[in-house]
Structures are given as structure tokens and as C-alpha cells.
């Protein structure tokens, strides 16, 4: 048994309990979102009904009255222009920062605070006893209408109360603006006077000037930046020298290694070498040795080795060899000395670079302190000048007596009867829509929970923990037989890549033993197992493997209709008689590597045939004869066919039809597999409505571009296939 099959067996034992726990544990956030999308119409219906009821209720509410006025928070007058043109005044600062950049929310909150509204309530309570702060704050609306303009609205069922409240509000807000202005000016004047009395600003200027002088004296510099540039240039120069020294060291070391290699050779082999050939003394000695060797070889042709001439030449050669060795040693000492000099120079440059870097780091700290102190000196000096100007400007602004805010149109404080019905209807429509949305969402979740159906591949994977081998998108054209559609393969070419990927995933499961045969089954007949088996076989055949598709559904065979082959003889005949299977299988007219074994006549007892020893021998023979064998079987629930066949294959693959398969039915199927001990390789999520992966989209575009170029070839192929089918039927 495969390693993955053993793992699947262990998983199935816990899957039934896990699936039950999942049903009872409620929906997670992902399932909630998917359920809401599926029940969008139900949610829309609830929202519409509740919102319509809220609007109808608004029409029966009594009318209310609304009054309003607007206040200009930045009036332009001759006096304000004069003050604004004086630097350092509060009026000048207000002209720079426009009201829309101010904290408008804070102003609105102040205007609705008890500090301003409580006096108005106390003033009007003798006339309107029911008026309270809470009521006034609830019915009052303060909002920015335009830049520098605040709009104040008040609504109430009493028209006269609206008019009186608005008049009191307008007077209170104008008085508040003048009081706030005077308070700001007085506080500013007091702050400036107190600061000058303490002498803090002038002392601050002197403090930072002293720090700047001490920093220059301590580090003996005028400008740290200029000194840092000089040190940086020195570091760059030293670094360049060090790089050149290291290059020379590497070159000298390479030559020295080459020299040692040459010295390891025989003297006669060194004549053409480059290192020693540059040494004139060495080369002369080597030439004499080679000349002696030539004479020895020449004289040895005439004389014996005991001849005085040859002996003299040998003695001459032996006398030259110590001289050659001495010259070699001198050359080696010369190379070693030069290499040591380069190493010492590199170390010296490294020390200089380190010292310069340390100096540069110190200069960076000094430069940072220098810049900071200079900035503080500048700020302190500017603050000193500004405070002097501020003191003079505030004395001028103190004489300003006009109100900062101005009422734009006093006629607008008259209460008017607005389209109260429209406002109330809008409010009720919003609230009713929100309530209907919540009720609809709750009803959608309840309905979706009661449906107890798998909708996504993740639902099945989370509920079973079986390996997900592939997700097949929903395509209506897959339900049509290849024969009836003329096998329009280019039209589903991009979709066909899903089955190629599925087949690859199945092959990867066999890490120990290759997967040669498997059973395709499902919990119910509507899951699309036959379609998956057919297109999986086509994908495997298209990848160059000899594939046999066996219609083992002896109760209701359908594969022969989809493939377009005859069902005169089939699996039933092979098992029930001595008919050779090779005479029954047919080659698919659409893929050369795909062979089909149809079901044959429907037997009275399919289980008896499938459980026979002859069926087991046939399955073993088919697995040895083909690269890949796929058995299409009846559903698991109520039938033992799939379990019987799976025991003689590498395992079973379950097809889960999304959108229709109920959790309870799938749980029953898993329980039957657990009892029978059937090895399950994984499951395939079929009829998925989830978004297609990026790769699928890419192949769709790819094949769309190829369609125009291949259209003629496809039409010719269709015509040829139709002709073949007509001839087969005629026979």
C-alpha cells in the first residue's frame, strides 16, 4: 500500500468525527462572508421591506420646524485690516492660518458645550419649562457651511421656541467671540511681559553663543565641515594606495607560486618558462647546462660513458648545477622580500586609514554639535527679536474693540417650516436600511446553515483533512459528450490545463510506489465523477501515457456515450466469458493514447462479477499493460462496487460536487470507507464557482490568441473524426 494511502486511512478514521464537529461548531469568518454573498437576494429583500416600513412610519410623524443662521468667523473691516497688517499680532496670525485649517471640530464642540448653552436654557426656561440642556444640545446642529462660515440649525415642534432659541444663540455666540479674543490678547501680553522680566530670552542667546565659542576653541577649528572634507580626501587617497598595494601583492604572490612550480621541474624543461627566463644570470647557467647535455648526448653516440670527453662534460654539468641552485635560491629570496615589503606597506596603510576614520568619526560628532549650537544661536536670536516686536504689536491689538465674529443675515433666524417629512423619511430610511441589512444577514446565515451544503473546496478540506488534489471550475459544456460536441477541444483548452495539473498532483502522491491505477467515485450520482474520470484520462493521454478508461459502472453505464464508442461488448463480457480484453477495448477517436473499455450489457448481479477472482486477475493484467488505468464506478452510498475495485488499485479519489453535496451525506460516505478500509488518495472539488487561479487565466488568454491560427486545423480534424465515427457505426 502507498505511504499516502496509509496516511489517508488514518485520516478517514477522524474525518467523520471532525466533520460532525464542524457542523456543530458554527461558521468561521470566511464561511460567513461566502454565505452572505450566496444569500444576497434574501438580504436585499429584508433590507427593502424594513426600509420601506420605516419610510411609511416617517410619513405619519408630526411636522417639525427648523431655523438657522450663519456666522462669519473672520470678518473684514477697516480696523481688522489695520491690525492684520501689523506683524506679530494675533490678527496677523489669524490671517495666515485660514479657518478651514484650524480645529473646526473643537470650535463646534465648544459652541454646543454646557458653558454656552446652560445660560440660554436658564434664560428661556420661564417661557419654555420643558427646555433642558440635553434637549437643546440634541436638537442643535453646528457645522461648517463654507470656509470661515459656521451654520447653526435648531429644530423643534414649536415654531416660536425655534425663533427665541436662535435669537439667544446668536447673541451668546457673538459675545463669546469677543470675550475669547480679549482673553487671548491679555494672556499673550502677560506672557511677553513676564518673559522679559525674567530675562530668559536674552540669557538663552548668550548661553548658546558661549557654547559655540567653547566648541571652536576646544577642537581648534573654524568650520568642521571643511576639516571633514580634508580627512575624507586623505582616507580616499590611502584607500586607493592600499588597493594598489594589494593588487601588487596578489600579482607578486602569483608569480612566486609560478616560480615554485617552475623550480619543481627539471632544468631542461625550464627554458620556455617566463619567470626564470627574465633572469639573465640564471638563463646563462641554464644555457650552459643544456649545451653540456647536448654535447653529452652527441658524444655518447661515439664514445662510452668511461670516455674522458664524456666524463669532462659530466663534470662541467655537475659544477654548473650548484650555481643554478644558488641562483634559484637568490630569486626566491628576492620574491619573498618583495612580498613581505608589500604586506608591511598594506598594514601601514590600514593603520593610517583606521586613524583617519576615527578622526572623521570624531569630526562627525563635533560637526553635529556645531550645527546644533549654530541653529540654537539663530533660533534664540530670532526669538529675541520676535518678542520685542510681539510686545509692541500686542499693545496695538489690545485697542481693538470690534466683535471677531459677525452675523451674516439676521433675517435667517426666523423659523421656517422645512420639508420635515423628507428629512424624517431620509433618517428613517437610513435606520431602516441598516436594521433590514442586519436582519437579512442573520436570516441568510440561518438559511445557509440549515442548507448543510459544501460550497467551496476549503469547506471540504477543513471538514475532512483529506488532500485536495484539484479544483475543477463549473463548466456547463463538460456535461455534454465529446461525441455530441464534435470534441471541440480548443474551446476548452485553457480549462483542460486544470486536469493536466490534477494528473500531475496524482503522480506526485506515489513517492514510494508509482500510481498505475485508481478508482474515481463520489458520495452521490450528481457530483460529476464520470466527467472528471473522462477528462482526467484525456489529460493523462495527452501527456504521452497509454491510458485505459474503464466504465466499471455496471448499473448505469454512460462513458461510451460521452466518448463516442460502441457498447456492444465490454467489461461484463470479459468477466462473464473467456473473451480476451484486448479484443474488447477501443481506441478513442480523439486521443491516440486513450483506450476505452465500456461496461457492456448490464448484468443481473454486478457485485458478484466485480468481486470475482477473474475481475481481480483482469485488473492486475490491465495495470501491467497500461501506464495508467482509471475505473469509473457507481457512487459509494448504497453500493459496494467502488470499495471492491479500490482494494485492487493504488487507491480511490473522491469527487465532491460543490453547491449540492450535503455534509451529512459526505459524512456517511466517509464512514463507509472507514468500515471497508478503502485507501483514499484525496478528493477533487468539482463544479467550483470560485475565482479562477492566475495560471488558468493565463492559459485562457494564451489559447484565445491561438484560436484564429488553429481554426482551420481544428475544422479539418473534426471532419476527419466525424468520418471515422460514421464508418464505425456503419460496420
Three-state secondary structure of 355-409:
HHHHHHHHHHHHHHHHHHHHHHHHHHHHHHHHHHHHHHHHHHHCCCCCCCCEECC
Q: In terms of Cα–Cα distance, which of 595, 645, 642 is closest to 616?
A: 645
CA–CA dist 231, 383 (Å, integer): 37
**Average pLDDT per run of 10 along the chain, which is 731 residues long?**
44 47 52 67 74 66 76 61 49 46 75 88 89 88 85 85 87 83 77 66 73 70 73 86 88 80 67 63 75 77 75 75 77 83 87 84 78 78 76 68 72 49 65 73 67 74 80 67 49 70 85 86 86 91 92 90 86 89 88 91 90 92 94 90 91 86 81 86 83 49 46 50 52 46
CA–CA dist 356, 242 (Å, integer): 14
Which strands sit side by side in the sheet containing 65-72, from one edge to the other?
A: 140-146, 149-156, 65-72, 406-407
Question: What residue spans define the domains of the chain?
Answer: 3-19+454-730
pLDDT at position 489? 46
C-alpha cell at position 147: 470656509
CA–CA dist 340, 245 (Å, integer): 12
pLDDT at position 727? 52
CA angle 512, 2, 668 (to 5 degrees): 155
Counting DSSP H helices and E strands in the chain, the numbers are: 25, 12
Virtual torsion, Cα 557, 559, 561, 564, nearest 10 deg: -140
| End-to-end CA separation in angstroms for the chain | 44
pLDDT at position 23? 45
CA–CA dist 453, 460 (Å, integer): 10
Residues 661/527, Cβ–Cβ less than 8 Å = yes
Q: Which long-range contacts (CB under 8 A, 24 or more apart) does 75-84 make?
A: 75/402, 75/403, 75/404, 75/405, 75/406, 77/402, 79/400, 79/402, 80/400, 80/402, 83/396, 83/397, 83/400
Q: Is 655 helix (H, G, I), strand (E, B) or coil?
A: strand
- Over the stretch 142-164, which tens digit does the pLDDT of each residue have? 888 888 888 888 888 888 888 88
Q: In terms of Cα–Cα distance, which of 46, 144, 155 is closest to 102?
A: 144
Fold of 3-19+454-730: Rossmann fold (3.40.50)
pLDDT at position 220? 64
From the centroid of its chain, how far is CA 512?
35
Q: What are 548's strand-pairing partners?
A: 595, 629
pLDDT at position 24? 43
pLDDT at position 20? 46
Q: What are phi and psi of 245, to 5 degrees?
A: -65, -40
CA–CA dist 292, 288 (Å, integer): 6
34: left (phi over 0), alpha (psi -120 to 50) or beta: alpha
The 3 state secondary structure assigned to 597-633 is: ECCCCCCCCHHHHHCCHHHHHHHHHHHHHCCEEEEEC
586-587/517-522 β-pairing: unpaired
Amino acid at each position: 500500500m502507498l505511504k499516502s494511502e496509509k496516511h489517508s486511512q488514518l485520516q478517514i478514521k477522524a474525518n467523520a468525527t471532525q466533520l460532525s464537529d464542524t457542523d456543530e461548531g458554527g461558521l468561521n469568518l470566511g464561511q460567513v462572508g461566502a454565505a452572505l454573498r450566496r444569500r444576497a437576494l434574501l438580504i436585499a429583500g429584508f433590507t427593502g421591506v424594513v426600509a420601506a416600513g420605516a419610510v411609511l412610519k416617517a410619513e405619519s410623524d408630526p411636522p417639525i420646524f427648523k431655523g438657522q443662521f450663519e456666522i462669519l468667523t473672520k470678518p473684514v473691516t477697516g480696523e481688522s485690516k489695520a491690525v492684520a497688517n501689523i506683524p506679530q499680532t494675533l490678527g496677523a496670525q489669524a490671517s495666515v492660518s485660514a479657518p478651514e485649517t484650524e480645529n473646526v471640530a473643537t470650535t463646534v464642540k465648544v459652541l454646543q458645550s454646557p458653558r454656552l448653552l446652560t445660560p440660554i436654557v436658564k434664560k428661556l426656561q420661564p417661557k419654555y419649562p420643558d427646555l433642558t440642556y440635553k434637549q437643546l444640545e440634541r436638537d442643535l446642529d453646528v457645522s461648517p457651511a463654507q470656509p470661515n462660515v459656521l451654520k447653526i440649525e435648531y429644530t423643534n415642534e414649536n415654531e416660536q421656541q425655534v425663533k427665541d432659541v436662535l435669537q439667544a444663540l446668536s447673541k451668546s455666540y457673538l459675545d463669546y467671540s469677543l470675550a475669547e479674543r480679549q482673553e487671548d490678547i491679555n494672556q499673550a501680553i502677560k506672557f511677553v511681559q513676564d518673559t522679559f522680566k525674567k530675562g530668559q530670552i536674552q540669557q538663552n542667546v548668550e548661553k548658546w553663543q558661549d557654547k559655540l565659542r567653547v566648541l571652536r576653541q576646544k577642537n581648534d577649528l573654524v568650520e568642521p565641515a571643511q576639516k571633514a572634507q580634508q580627512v575624507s580626501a586623505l582616507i580616499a587617497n590611502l584607500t586607493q594606495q592600499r588597493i594598489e598595494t594589494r593588487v601588487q601583492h596578489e600579482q607578486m604572490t602569483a608569480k612566486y607560486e609560478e616560480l615554485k612550480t617552475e623550480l619543481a621541474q627539471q632544468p631542461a624543461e625550464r627554458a620556455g618558462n617566463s619567470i626564470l627566463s627574465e633572469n639573465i644570470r640564471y638563463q646563462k647557467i641554464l644555457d650552459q647546462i643544456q649545451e653540456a647535455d647536448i654535447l653529452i648526448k652527441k658524444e655518447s653516440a661515439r664514445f662510452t660513458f668511461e670516455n674522458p670527453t664524456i666524463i669532462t662534460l659530466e663534470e662541467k654539468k655537475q659544477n654548473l648545477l650548484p650555481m643554478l641552485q644558488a641562483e634559484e635560491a637568490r630569486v626566491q629570496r628576492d620574491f619573498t622580500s618583495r612580498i613581505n615589503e608589500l604586506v608591511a606597506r598594506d598594514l601601514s596603510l590600514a593603520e593610517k586609514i583606521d586613524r583617519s576614520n576615527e578622526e572623521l568619526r570624531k569630526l562627525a560628532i563635533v560637526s553635529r554639535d556645531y550645527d546644533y549650537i549654530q541653529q540654537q544661536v539663530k533660533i534664540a536670536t530670532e526669538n529675541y527679536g520676535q518678542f520685542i516686536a510681539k510686545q509692541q504689536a500686542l499693545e496695538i491689538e489690545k485697542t481693538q474693540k470690534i466683535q471677531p465674529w459677525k452675523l451674516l443675515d439676521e433675517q435667517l433666524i426666523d423659523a421656517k417650516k422645512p420639508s420635515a417629512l423628507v428629512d424624517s423619511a431620509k433618517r428613517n430610511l437610513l435606520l431602516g436600511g441598516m436594521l433590514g441589512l442586519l436582519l437579512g444577514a442573520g436570516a441568510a446565515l440561518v438559511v445557509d446553515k440549515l442548507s448543510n451544503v459544501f460550497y467551496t473546496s476549503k469547506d471540504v478540506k477543513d471538514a475532512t483533512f483529506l488532500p485536495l488534489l484539484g479544483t475543477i471550475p463549473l463548466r456547463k459544456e463538460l456535461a455534454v459528450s465529446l461525441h455530441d460536441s464534435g470534441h471541440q477541444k480548443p474551446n476548452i483548452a485553457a480549462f483542460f490545463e486544470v486536469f493536466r495539473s490534477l494528473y500531475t498532483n496524482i503522480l506526485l502522491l506515489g513517492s514510494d510506489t508509482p500510481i498505475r491505477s485508481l478508482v474515481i467515485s463520489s458520495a452521490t450520482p450528481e457530483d460529476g465523477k464520470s466527467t472528471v474520470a473522462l477528462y482526467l484520462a484525456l489529460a493523462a493521454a495527452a501527456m504521452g501515457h497509454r491510458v485505459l478508461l474503464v466504465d466499471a459502472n455496471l448499473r448505469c453505464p454512460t462513458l461510451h456515450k460521452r466518448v463516442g464508442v460502441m457498447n456492444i461488448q465490454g467489461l461484463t463480457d470479459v468477466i462473464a466469458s473467456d473473451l480476451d480484453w484486448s479484443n474488447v477495448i477501443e481506441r478513442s477517436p480523439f486521443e491516440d493514447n486513450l483506450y476505452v473499455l465500456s461496461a457492456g450489457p448490464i448484468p443481473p448481479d454486478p457485485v458478484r462479477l466485480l468481486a470475482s477472482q477473474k475481475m481481480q486477475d483482469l485488473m492486475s493484467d490491465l495495470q501491467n499493460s497500461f501506464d495508467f488505468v482509471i475505473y469509473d464506478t457507481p457512487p459509494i452510498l448504497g453500493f459496494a462496487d467502488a470499495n471492491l475495485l479500490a482494494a485492487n488499485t493504488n487507491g480511490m479519489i473522491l469527487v465532491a460536487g460543490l453547491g449540492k453535496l450535503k455534509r451529512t451525506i459526505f459524512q456517511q460516505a466517509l464512514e463507509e470507507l472507514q468500515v471497508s478500509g478503502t485507501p483514499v488518495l484525496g478528493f477533487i472539488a468539482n463544479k467550483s464557482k470560485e475565482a479562477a487561479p492566475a495560471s488558468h487565466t493565463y492559459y485562457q488568454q494564451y489559447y484565445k490568441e491561438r484560436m484564429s491560427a488553429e481554426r482551420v486545423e481544428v475544422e479539418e480534424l473534426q471532419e476527419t473524426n466525424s468520418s471515422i465515427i460514421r464508418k464505425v457505426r456503419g460496420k
